[in-house]
Amino acid sequence: AQTVTQSQPEMSVQEAETVTLSCTYDTSENNYYLFWYKQPPSRQMILVIRQEAYKQQNATENRFSVNFQKAAKSFSLKISDSQLGDTAMYFCASIQGAQKLVFGQGTRLTINP
């Protein structure tokens, strides 16, 4: 069975700093996909970034990048030049085969002015 673990319940950094959110997962599949979703106080779930497991290159989207370590089953999210609008819950998720997203417990990130 898939499991996703986020070991940091809460994090807090100053605006403009860089922050890294950790995620580990467990899967027996070779072909799977990994995602980071953001949930701001508005409650909307917003896709931040995705990574295909078969791609060695780490995905990047503007200030957001991942460090995907397949052998270690690790998928961390780095936010550079953090902004106040990055304050949100961040969820790591994986999907394989049956199309059901399996989520981690979430990390509450606060960006302080």
Partner 1 sequence: DTAVSQTPKYLVTQMGNDKSIKCEQNLGHDTMYWYKQDSKKFLKIMFSYNNKELIINETVPNRFSPKSPDKAHLNLHINSLELGDSAVYFCASSQSGARETQYFGPGTRLLVL
Residue 64 makes contact with partner 1 by CB under 8 A:
no
Instruction: Fill in the DSSP letter of residue 81.
Output: S
Q: Of residues 1-30, which lie at the interface with partner 1 (CB under 8 A)?
A: none
Among 20, 24, 65, 103, binds partner 1 (CB under 8 A): 103
Nearer to partner 1, 57 or 113 (CB): 57
SS (H, E, C) 7-72: CCCEEEEECCCCEEECCEEECCCCCCEEEEEEECCCCCCEEEEEEECCCCCCCEECCEEEEEECCC
Among 43, 57, 71, 85, binds partner 1 (CB under 8 A): 43
Sorted by sequence, the CB contacts under 8 Å of residue 85 that are 6+ apart come out as 40, 111
C-beta of 103: minimal distance to partner 1 in Å?
Answer: 4
Interacting residues with partner 1 (CB under 8 A): 31-33, 35, 37, 39, 42-47, 50, 52, 89, 91, 95-103, 105-106
